[in-house]
Amino acid sequence: MAPSIRIKNISELPIISGSRNDTRKKISCITIGHREAEEQFSSDIHLDAFIILLVLSGKGHTVINYKAYDIQADTLLLLSSAHLFHFYECSDDFQCQCLFVSKAFTDEMDSTDMIYRRTKYGVRLYNQPVVPLAHPYAVLLAERLASINKNIDRTEHFYHKEVILNRLFAFYLDLSDILERTNLPHTDGCLTRYESIIKSFIELLATHYREEHKVDFSAALLNLSAH
């Protein structure tokens, strides 16, 4: 029997759902260890969000859209709502910083959204979402993520949302700069027809899964037969 695929908003994740800070239901930045990685992300999950995962220590394995990757310290994972993923066999010293930015929050990002789009998060990184980083780059991004996390909890600030957006803006600027400087494989335009269909189908799921559950609905939008 094939494993089930879970589709969730970030507010449904146990590591986030218990927070009293409502902002964390839209954007959250947390550090998880091997237990959280394997307990909460042990089977394929689809999150309706933009996800950054930065491995701080240890080693592990992840499967993204049914392709396996080895991950270790200074590895960056860039995932979107078009990715399915899970972790397995993480070492005891595995630690990972996780940034979850929901679509509800990105819709409010205004100019920051332009930076989000400039991170080249398109076909190139859809097909190659795991990026090994030089250690100084990993340290810089870790600092940016820690700053985002700190400011999410500054709920008493009169400009709470604006401060978070400012820190997020700085993070995306650095991320864009690092991706420009990192020698990533060029995969633009290299998706197979099968991969292109799967990508489009997952994006449809992200948009319509709560209201539409019939194969015919998705098939019509993809210009495919239901079979």
Question: What pLDDT is stored for residue 87 in this prediction?
Answer: 95
Q: pLDDT tens digits, residue range 62-97?
A: 999 889 999 999 999 999 887 889 999 999 999 999
CA distance 144 to 149: 9
The third-level CATH classification (topology) of the domain covering 6-189 is Jelly Rolls (2.60.120)
Q: Which of 51-55, 115-119, 127-131 has the highest mean pLDDT?
A: 51-55
Q: What percent of the chain has pLDDT over 90?
A: 42
Q: Residue 53 corresponds to which tokens in the numbers above? A: 């995962």
Total-model pTM: 0.77
Q: What percent of the chain has pLDDT over 70?
A: 81
3-state SS, residue 60? strand
Q: pLDDT tens digits, residue range 162-206?
A: 999 899 989 988 998 898 887 765 554 566 777 677 777 777 766
Contacts of 19 (CB under 8 A, 6+ apart): 25, 28
Alpha carbon distances (Å) from 191 to 51, 128, 187, 196: 21, 11, 7, 6
Alpha carbon distances (Å) from 146 to 31, 73, 75: 9, 17, 17
Give residue limits of the domains in the chain: 6-189, 191-227
Contacts of 193 (CB under 8 A, 6+ apart): none
Q: Residue 100 corresponds to which tokens in the numbers above? A: 């979850």
Residue 210 scores a pLDDT above 70: no
